[in-house]
Amino acid sequence: MDDTFGMAEEAPGTRFLLFPQSPFRTADPELELIEISAPPGSIGPGPSGPRMYAVNPLGKTIPFGAIVPGPSGPGMYLPPWLGEIQEPPAPDEDGHFVHVQPSDPGFEAVHLFAAAHFTLDVWEAYFGHPIPWHFERDYDRLELSLLPSLDNAHIGWGFLETGGTSEHGGEYRAYSLNFDVVAHEIGHAIIYSVAGMPVSDDVPGEYFGFHESAADLVALIASLHFGSVVEELLENTKGNLYTLNQLNRFAELAGNAQIRMAANTRTLQEFVSGWSSEHALSEPLTGAMFDILVDIFHERLLVHDLITPEMEDLSDQLEETPYYSDVMQALFDARYALDPEGFRISLLEARDFLGAYLAAAWSMLDAENLTYAAVEKALLIVDQETTGGAFRTIIEGNFRMRGIGFAQAGPRLAEADEGSHAHSVRTRMPGG
């Protein structure tokens, strides 16, 4: 785990092997050794810990969250799974799970558990306190469930359930092995906890776009806590983060298949007349946040004298032009070669600034009144309180470029489909 945010000094945690990026993008994917915050000996077979536990059900056909018949009428199908399960993988004699390899039948459960726990650890460090589950009135722990027949991954009332897809040449690709997918779902849970779940149907449409954006950002920031991701990112881009790279690919299922891009040019004006997909609606906000990350990275490079003010100004001037790549890549190549470690430190600093800012800003938001403009306002308050407004121009400029602050998303143009999170098992509550 690559970290500059204070967790490195804590007591040793339980060790796991994780795929930092989708194992389906290359023929020979690499695993990375990580530690979760739970100390060795505190994680039992399953894996099972104080915050969550994994199960691999046998014979389960109905996904959690479905509406099923019951003695008192239709109701939600919820954890725990009480049927038979595949033999749960156990820790080694030192309390770790590093011995569970991809060839092991229990690896999927281990990977799902480690990815979910690792993401929660990263974000609890940014928040500075434990993040309670939004379903804590009914469950103390999150049940992590594997259901291969489910072509989805979703979090809901007491569960995170993952399936897989066979769309790529008939090969089954488990979402449990895709860190971005799992981290994205934990992101939804974090937002439900800190910003609340909507209690009416009158919440602004931007609430749903915000949810998708925030979940993507949870995954993006968490992925930058893998040393191999940071190293590969910088080696491939030489610090020019606007090039197409693995940082801005989400839920990547193959080398050239991407669901959404963080580095995008979408604006909120495109949705003034209405919207039909919260995934698309999320892109202006996610794009603004990605640009803020890059701009803070550039500021940190300036602080460390790794780039010149003239180079930063040129980057801003050429950003939306066809000349950007040709001109800027050569400059980044030359500067990066002089001090790769300085670039790495600057990127980690930018990551931690944005992570801490987002945690503080999200804590100020309320689901019933959540707009993109409210997100900007919260970020500006955090910036003022944290640094005296060091990044005010960066925040305001990038939100203005996306139309946020003078445009608002219009109404939903179509009924939510099965790909929507707005009315799904993610937002469904027992009795609600």
Counting Cβ atoms within 10 Å, is residue 234 exposed (0-12), middle (13-18) or buried (19+)?
A: buried
Indicate if the pLDDT at residue 183 is higher than 90: yes
The answer to whether position 426 is within a domain reads no
Indicate if the pLDDT at residue 174 is higher than 90: yes
Cβ(14)–Cβ(40) under 8 Å? yes
Q: Tell me, what's the pLDDT at 52? A: 98
Please say which residue of 168, 195, 222 terminates a domain. Answer: 195
Residues 32, 108 within the same domain: yes
DSSP-derived letter for residue 394 is H
Q: To the nearest whole percent, how much of the chain has pLDDT over 90?
A: 72
Please say which residue of 150, 174, 195 terminates a domain. Answer: 195
The pLDDT-based confidence of 419 (bands split at 50, 70, 90) is low
- CATH number of the domain bearing residue 96: 3.10.170.10
Cβ(383)–Cβ(211) under 8 Å? no
The answer to whether position 423 is within a domain reads no
Average pLDDT of every residue of the chain: 89
Residues 271, 127 within the same domain: no
CA distances from 90 to 15, 84, 105, 182, 339 (A): 13, 17, 12, 21, 43
- Quickly count helices (H) and strands (E) in the chain: 10, 10
Q: Please name which of 93, 88, 124 lies closest in space to residue 15, comparing C-alpha atoms.
A: 93
DSSP-derived letter for residue 49 is -
Residues 129, 96 within the same domain: yes
Residues 49, 184 within the same domain: yes
Q: Tell me, what's the pLDDT at 256? A: 39
Cβ(343)–Cβ(239) under 8 Å? yes
Residues 217, 357 within the same domain: yes
Indicate if the pLDDT at residue 255 is higher than 50: no
Indicate if the pLDDT at residue 251 is higher than 60: no
Which run of H or of E encompasses 159? strand 159-162
- For residue 231 the two structure tokens come to 């190293």
Residues 221, 362 within the same domain: yes
134/155 Cα distance (integer angstroms): 11
Amino acid code (one letter) for 261: M
**Gyration radius of the chain over CA positions:** 21
The answer to whether position 417 is within a domain reads no
Residues 135, 221 within the same domain: no
Range of the domain at 241: 206-401
Residues 183, 225 within the same domain: no
Residues 129, 255 within the same domain: no
The pLDDT-based confidence of 342 (bands split at 50, 70, 90) is very high
Cβ(210)–Cβ(402) under 8 Å? no
The answer to whether position 13 is within a domain reads yes
pLDDT tens-place string over residues 284-324: 999 999 999 999 999 999 999 999 999 988 887 887 777 88
Please say which residue of 174, 195, 216 terminates a domain. Answer: 195
Average of per-residue pLDDT across 208-222: 95
Average of per-residue pLDDT across 328-351: 96
301/317 Cα distance (integer angstroms): 18
Contacts of residue 11, defined as CB under 8 A and 6 or more positions apart, other chains included, come to 39
Cβ(160)–Cβ(133) under 8 Å? no
Is the four-CA dihedral 113, 116, 118, 124 of positive or negative sign?
negative
The pLDDT-based confidence of 10 (bands split at 50, 70, 90) is low
Q: Tell me, what's the pLDDT at 257? A: 43
359/126 Cα distance (integer angstroms): 6
Q: Which residue has the tokens 């005010």?
A: 392
Q: To the nearest whole percent, how much of the chain has pLDDT over 70?
A: 89
Domain count, the chain: 2
Residues 266, 388 within the same domain: yes
Which of 214-223, 254-263, 312-321, 415-424 ranks highest by mean pLDDT? 214-223
Indicate if the pLDDT at residue 149 is higher than 50: yes
What is the chain's length? 432
Q: Tell me, what's the pLDDT at 318? A: 82
The answer to whether position 432 is within a domain reads no
Cβ(287)–Cβ(402) under 8 Å? yes
The answer to whether position 174 is within a domain reads yes
The answer to whether position 221 is within a domain reads yes
Indicate if the pLDDT at residue 25 is higher than 90: no
Indicate if the pLDDT at residue 8 is higher than 60: no
Residues 147, 295 within the same domain: no
The answer to whether position 292 is within a domain reads yes
Amino acid code (one letter) for 137: R
- For residue 160 the two structure tokens come to 């995170």
Residues 187, 223 within the same domain: no
